[in-house]
Structures are given as C-alpha cells and as structure tokens.
Structure 1
Amino acid sequence: MMESLFGYNLQNSVKNDEAKSKTPSPSKHVLEPKRLQNITILLKALNSTSEQVCNALVQGEGLSLQQLEALVKMQPTKEEEDKLSSYKGGFDELGSTEKFVKALFKIPFSFQRVEALLYRETFEEEVVHLRKSFSMLEEACKELRSSRLFLKLLDAVLKTGNRMNVGTIRGGARAFKLDALLKLADVKGTDGKTTLLHFVVQEMIRSEGIKDSIIIRETITQKRKTAEEKEEDYRRMGLDYVSGLGAELCNVKKTASIDLDVLESSVSNLSVGMSKLQQLVHGDLSTDDQNGAFVSSMNSFLTTAEKNLKELQEDERKVLLHVRQITEYFHGDVSKDESNPLRIFVIVRDFLGMLDQVCKELRSTKVPTSPSPLAPFR
C-alpha cells in the first residue's frame, strides 16, 4: 500500500543505506569542535587558498584588511599549535580547516606577520583619527580661553551671585567654579518660573542689545522709534548675540563626548604595535635571507610610520598640557584624583544646552512690560 501510494521503494532505500555505509570515514580533527567551527566560518570569509595566503605572507603584500582581520582571529593558542605540530597522522587525514592552519606554520612567524600587516593596514587611518581628536581638543581649549561672550557671561553670573549674597559669607566672591553654572536653573524666583539663569541671560541680552543698537545708530540713519520698539530691538539683537555662544564654542561641545582614556590607549597601542613590528623585522626575521621580501616591504613602511608616531606622541603631550592649563585657568589647582580630565568641557556643554533652552523660551515670549527682571527675586 505504501509503495503504491507514495512510490516508496524499499529496495532503493536499502541500497542508499548501503551506499552511505561505504562512504569514507570523516576526517580526523585535532582542534576542539567549537573552535574548529569558528575557524571554518572565518576560512569561508577569507575566500583564499593556503597557497595564496602563504605567498602573501612571504611577500608582505596581497591581503585585504578583511582577510587580515579574519586571519588574526584564526591564530591558534599555544596549546592548539602544539597539538597541530605534534600530530602524527597523515596530513591528508586532517580536515580542510586544520590543513589550512597547519600549512601556515611552514612560514616562519606566520601569525606575527599577519599582525604586522594588519598594523600597517590600519596605521594611517588610526593616526588620522587621533590627530583630528587632538586638533579638536586644541581648538576647544582656544575657544574657552578666547571667547569674549563666555567670559562676559561668567562675569555676569559672578556679579549676580554677589548681589544676591550681599551681607552673607558668600558675598564679595572673586571667583567661582564652573560647576555653579549648572545650578543657576535650580534657583527660582517668587513666581516659580523665572530662574537665576533666565535673569542672567535677560540682563546679558539687554546690555549687549543696547550696545549693538548704539553701534547701528552711529553707522546708519534710523527713523525715530518708540520706547517699545527700541526695547524690542535691544532684545532681538541681544538674544541673537547671546544665543550664538553655542556656535562659538562648537568644539567644546564636540570635545565633551571624547573619552581621553580611549585616545591615550590608542596611542599606547600604536606604540606597542610599533615595538613588536620592529622586533619582528629587525630581529626575528633579519637572520634569514628567505625573509627578505617581507622585511623589505615592511622597512619601507617603518621609515615613515616611526616618524608619524613620534609626531603623534608629541601632539598628545602638548594637548594634555593645554587641557590641564585651561582647567587650571578656570578651576585653579587640578586634583590628581580627577577621574575625567575633560570634565570642564562636559560642564560647559551641559550649560550651553541649558542656555539654548532659555534663549528659545525667551524668543517665544513677548517683551516684559516691567523694565526690571530682578523683581521676582525680591
């Protein structure tokens, strides 16, 4: 019934089973199954024969970044290398993956060569990235030091704080740490809405707007305006001026997201990689003429790379010095225990976010009828 309904042929099934039993036994495996599977996947991504890879390692060229990254991940542990090296069975009995890895052992310092080629392949991109980061830090320091508007804003905050603290031990202060900027929005007036930051910004807007308006009146002839129109002009000009601080300190905001530990670690890793490469080229491979092609290929790279690395390390030293100087400029002595040397940029970035929000709120409100924004604080 099954044969007639489904075309199932018992004889064919038996023959197939017999054929399967006659297939050759599976290849012998030396590596652990999971590790073998991972290397097999990487081998497929590599898409090259062992002969092609070995030739590239001898010549010191011919492998792409993706191929080098795959090869680095294939590098066997000392235990795995010992197992493959001490394997006594026939080479043909091994699986294709283990054959591939074992074939690379014929090249002296094969996986060290892979690391050297990967280092060369990624060196320039890493150097460019680090230089851009150091340049951004340098510009951020210059912006904080030279921004006239930022210094005027700090001056306004200091005067406002002293005026509010008259008669107390906090009155008459000559300076304050930038952390205080983030607390301005926490001090609210009697109306429950106006904050100390609103007040400082309004005063800055008015004073700077008046100055700009006077300059304009001196350069061009204007029609006579009412007090309300003049007030609106002061407000608009001053608001445009104050709200431009974020653009003026654009590199400060970008720098706040930088992880200095990562930058320092990257420079350190480049230095360590350079030392390994020098040892490989000038030491391990220098005694055998058969390594000449690889040594020659890497020597041409080392000539410029060593110079670039020294320049990068000097850039790092200068930038870290400038970061320390700008922090001391605003905060006095810098504690050695400071977990984040770039904290000052984080503070300013967060403050600029608060400032932008206040400017947006003020831009959407009408000119206050009362000329004294200090009223809510009395």
Structure 2
Amino acid sequence: MFVSSQPRGAPRAPPPPPPSPSSPAPPAPPPPSSLNNLLGLKTTTTTGAPAPPPPSHLLLQRQTAGVSGNEPTSPPVENVNAHFYTFPKEKCKKTKILYWNKLAPSSLVHKKNNVWVENVNVSMDSVNLTKIEELFHCETQPSTSNGKKATVERTASSSNDLNSDQTATAQNAGVSKIFDEVYILDQKTSLKISLFLKQFRGLSLEQIVDLVINNNKSTGSPTSGVGGGRPPDEQMTLERLRGLQKCLVGAEQYIVDVQNYDGDYAKLGMAEKFIWHIGQHKFFSSRLDVKCLQREFDEKYKNFTKSFDTLIDCCRKLRSSQSLKQFLFLVLRVGNYLNLGSSSGPAAGFKISSIKQLNALKATGRSSTTLLHVLVDSAENDDNAAAGDKKPLQFTSQLSDVHSAAKIDYEATKTDLMIWSAETRKLIQTVRSATDPQFVQENESFLKLVDESLKELTVEKVREVETSAKVLQEYFCDDLKLTDLLNLFSEFFRNVERAKSDNEQLKMKEERLAKQKELQELKKAFGQCL
C-alpha cells in the first residue's frame, strides 16, 4: 500500500508554474575533448580568441550521430571525400537507411588504386532532397510483423503416389540365334562396337581402321562407290572418333585375347574381327587420341583464349568507365544524406556489392519506386553532365560486354583447361616415349606446337586474368570472385535500364493525366461561360 509522507489534512503545495515559452533554453555544455578527438577537431587550452567552429559536415555528424564522450578515440586521418558529407539542406524527417558496407576514410587513405580516391565531383543540383525525404521517410506506426513466416504443409496421398506403384520391368532377354561363331568380348563391349561399325556402311573393317591410322588418304575413289566418295574428315568425324574411344575403354585385355586367338579368323564375331584389325597396329589407342587432339585442338584453344580475353577486356573497361564512376559517387552522396544520424553514415565510400541495396530500398507506401529509380532520374536530369557533353548512364551501353563476360564461369573454365592440359601433356609424354620412331617423328611437330600453346594458356593467360581480377577487386573495394563481380554488374546494369524505362512510362502517364485534367478544367470553364 502506498503511504504518503505528507500529514493528513495538510494543504498540498501547488505545482510549479510551467516555464515561459519566451524564456530561452539553457545553453548546452561544451563537448568534451574526447569527442573533439574522435571527430578530428583540434582543442586549445590557451586563453585568447575562441577556436573557429568545426566544418559543417562535422557539426551535422556530431548533432545527429549521438556519439558519447567516453568512447575510445581514433587517430586523426585524412578526410577523404569530406565534401560528400555536406548538403545544401538539413534533414527535416527521419528517413529509411541505405544499408551498405561503408568504407571509412582510414581504410582508403593509404590506398591509391580504388575508385573512391579519384575525387569525382558530383553536383547535387539535379537531386531533389526534399522529394527524397518524402519518398523514403520512416512510417510512425510500428510494424505489426512478428518476423514469422507462414509455413505451408504439403501432404501427399499415398494412394495417388505413382512412385509407390511403379514396379521394375523385367528386361527382355534377347533370343540369340546359335551360330558357329567365336565370341571373346563381353556382350556390352560387343554391342557398342557393333553400333559404331553401323555408321560406316560400305566400308570394310580394314578401311575403317585405316581411317583412324592414316586419315590423310581417301578411302575409296569417288567413282567406286566405296565410302560414298566422301573425304576422310567427313567419314571419320570427331564425334565418331570420340565414340570409338568410348568403345575401347577397358578393352586392352580383349585386344590381347583376340591377338592370342589361334583359331579360324572367319569364325570370329564382327566385333572380334574389328578388334583383331586394331591389334595389327601398334599404339592404336595413342594414335586414336592424337587424331582426336588434332581435330579439336584449334577449336578448344580458340574458345579458351576468347573466354580469357573477354574477361580481361571487361575488367579494363569497368575500371576506365567515367560514367560509371560518376553514378557511383552520386550514390555515395545521396546515401550519406539518407544515413545522416545513423551508424551507416557518413561514408567515404562503399563496397561495390552494396549496389544491390539500391533496388531493395523502396519508397514508403510506393513499393514500385526504389532508390535506384530516384538516382536514375537525378542522373538523367543533371544539367552539368549535359553541358559537359557527357551522356548520363551511358555505362549501360558502353559496358554491354559485361553481360557476355558474366556468363563465363572463370573458375570452371580454368578447371576445364587444367584437366585438358594434364590429359594432353600425358598423351604427349606417351607418344614421345613410344618405341615406334616413325609414329613419334610424324607427330612431333604437332605435339611441340600443342605443348607451347598450352603453356601460353595455362601460365600467361591465366596469370593475366587473375591479375585483372585482383586489380578490379581492389578498385571497387570488394573481395568478390571475378564471376560474382561480373554478375553483380550485369544485374545492376539491367536494373538501371529497367528503372529508366519505368521512369519514362511514369512520366508519360503523368503527362497524360495532366492533359486530361487540363481538358476537364477547360470544359468546366466553358460550361460556366454558357
């Protein structure tokens, strides 16, 4: 029970009068020296003229950030991009925060090869800060979301489950006819070879083997009808060579068994006869591998080179785009304005992965309008850029190669190259160690060219790509992998183009509504005159 300390019956003292509205508020105490150190301000202990006031951006930061004087001080650093903390007007409303990975001046002061130390001048004349406050102001009503996501339970009827009713179908055993033939190969290998041989109708087994061993000579004359008169390259294509390679995987022992067969050749099955002809040529598998390499090397080499050159060129263009830099600095300045008074600002720069947040920050009550729409509109209405003969947002067209470069998975491409290089070098070593001097001599010039080309790809080109990727990561202050970085830019450029289109449609709609309103007012005025 609450007991009053005042005696019962004693008159209560009247409440103190309210302060006069005209009376000024008591002056605020001076900030402690630790706060001055934190903000990089100099303090003096000597008497005399008072110290000049700190810069406006530091005053604004001190007024809104709410830094306590007992926080640990940081050493003074160069004020990188300090002019991006000042604005033509102060914030009147609390706005939504642009959540970016901000970079403090201390993290940039000793780095020379990044976009934020280039000191690009961005005009705020085309940026309507009042409109930004209206669009991105915080709602006063508390959020009713409890953060829980509804879960949908999925039930499946066991009676309708087709998988439970599926039964394995019995394999139909082929009815084999009894012939007086000798089969040495297993059924699977024999079937694969038989299917391969059916592609060469009109050619004998010896001619098919000769296409692999010496496919520089034409098999059959054009008038004989043997092989259809087609050149060897059309008869033994790379696809067919690869098919033969698959047929011979694990067939080494079968080749030995067929060669040791001392019975009647005529009694051998078709697949066994083909294996017998293969066994008449030493190093047939190596010869087959060399033929495949000859057919595919130029195309593979060009594809790898093209992919790497595309990545290198794309990295160079991203770093040299002035239009892209201009837009990023516009993002920095508007983002600092939104983040006044929060821990996310002010920032001397931001990691490039933060550009994803531009499309995620939506206007209050207008989910179709994002911060990116506002930034794109401001960039396109920048009179200073137009006066300097600079097309705003031209980076989306200048850097269109980013979309094709983003489709190249560098890590996967590099892995494929290393596997192909290892397999090819193993083949080169096998051929050079062969006991057939003629076989070695006729392939040495080609294999030497292959070895040198692979060294150029696996060492020089790979190093050039990785150097370009590292420079790009440092330039945009992010450690994303090259493929992720290019995909980030590709998606960002598409979002910029989409925002441009949305703004144009909205402008046309507003103009149409304005004309309709004007027409209605004219009709109303004309009716009143009558």
Query: What's the TM-score bracket when you normalise by the shorter of the two chains?
Result: 0.7 to 0.9
Is 1:206 the counterpart of 2:381 in the alignment? yes
Aligned positions, number: 312
Partner of 1:71: 244
Deviation at 1:307, TM superposition (A): 2.5
CA distance in 1, matches of 2:411, 2:260: 43
Match of 2:453 among 308, 318, 330: 308
Pick closer, same or farther for the CA change 1:299–1:46 going to 2, 3 Å. Answer: farther
Partner of 2:500: 359
Partner of 2:468: 322
Partner of 1:161: 335
Give CA-to-partner distance per residue, 1:351-375, whole Å, 9 cap, x none. 1111111111112232779xxxxxx
Partner of 1:276: 426
Contact 1:189 1:195 in 2 (8 A): yes
CA distance in 1, matches of 2:267, 2:450: 44
Q: Kindly provide the amino acid, as one letter, of the partner of residue 354 in structure 1.
A: N
Match of 1:348 among 483, 489, 507: 489
Deviation at 1:190, TM superposition (A): 2.2
Is 1:288 the counterpart of 2:462 in the alignment? no
Secondary structure at 1:194's aligned position in 2? strand
Secondary structure at 1:151's aligned position in 2? helix
CA distance in 1, matches of 2:470, 2:215: 43
CA distance in 1, matches of 2:433, 2:409: 36
Contact 2:431 2:440 in 1 (8 A): yes
Contact 1:323 1:342 in 2 (8 A): no
Is 1:144 the counterpart of 2:353 in the alignment? no
Secondary structure at 1:365's aligned position in 2? helix
CA distance in 2, matches of 1:352, 1:52: 57
Partner of 2:144: none
CA distance in 2, matches of 1:24, 1:347: 66
CA distance in 2, matches of 1:55, 1:305: 24
Is 1:36 the counterpart of 2:187 in the alignment? no
CA distance in 1, matches of 2:399, 2:200: 46
Is 1:107 the counterpart of 2:261 in the alignment? no
Match of 1:259 among 409, 423, 447: 409
CA distance in 2, matches of 1:260, 1:341: 7
Partner of 1:123: 297
Q: Kindly provide the amino acid, as one letter, of the partner of residue 326 in structure 1.
A: L
Deviation at 1:163, TM superposition (A): 0.6
Point out where structure 2 has 5 or more consecutive residues left out of the alignment: 1-176, 218-231, 512-530
Is 1:90 the counterpart of 2:264 in the alignment? yes
Point out where structure 1 has 5 or more consecutive residues left out of the alignment: 1-22, 217-236, 370-378
CA distance in 2, matches of 1:26, 1:181: 76
Contact 2:286 2:431 in 1 (8 A): no
CA distance in 2, matches of 1:34, 1:54: 21
Contact 2:200 2:208 in 1 (8 A): no
CA distance in 1, matches of 2:249, 2:261: 15
CA RMSD of aligned residues (A): 2.6
Deviation at 1:348, TM superposition (A): 0.7
Task: Give TM-score scaled by structure 1 length.
Answer: 0.74
CA distance in 2, matches of 1:58, 1:195: 66
Match of 1:25 among 146, 162, 179: 179
Deviation at 1:56, TM superposition (A): 4.5
CA distance in 1, matches of 2:263, 2:333: 86
Give CA-to-partner distance per residue, 1:223-270, whole Å, 9 cap, x none. xxxxxxxxxxxxxx96xx42x322211222111111223321332234
CA distance in 2, matches of 1:146, 1:187: 28
Is 1:49 the counterpart of 2:204 in the alignment? yes
Pick closer, same or farther for the CA change 1:38–1:24 going to 2, 3 Å. Answer: closer
CA distance in 2, matches of 1:206, 1:92: 87
Partner of 1:331: 477
Pick closer, same or farther for the CA change 1:303–1:76 going to 2, 3 Å. Answer: closer
Give CA-to-partner distance per residue, 1:82-115, whole Å, 9 cap, x none. 5544545432222112210222012111112101
Contact 2:377 2:500 in 1 (8 A): no
CA distance in 1, matches of 2:239, 2:215: 16
Greater fraction of residues in helix: 1
Contact 1:45 1:70 in 2 (8 A): no
Secondary structure at 2:375's aligned position in 1? helix
Deviation at 1:272, TM superposition (A): 2.0
Pick closer, same or farther for the CA change 1:342–1:364 going to 2, 3 Å. Answer: same
Pick closer, same or farther for the CA change 1:148–1:57 going to 2, 3 Å. Answer: same
Partner of 1:16: none
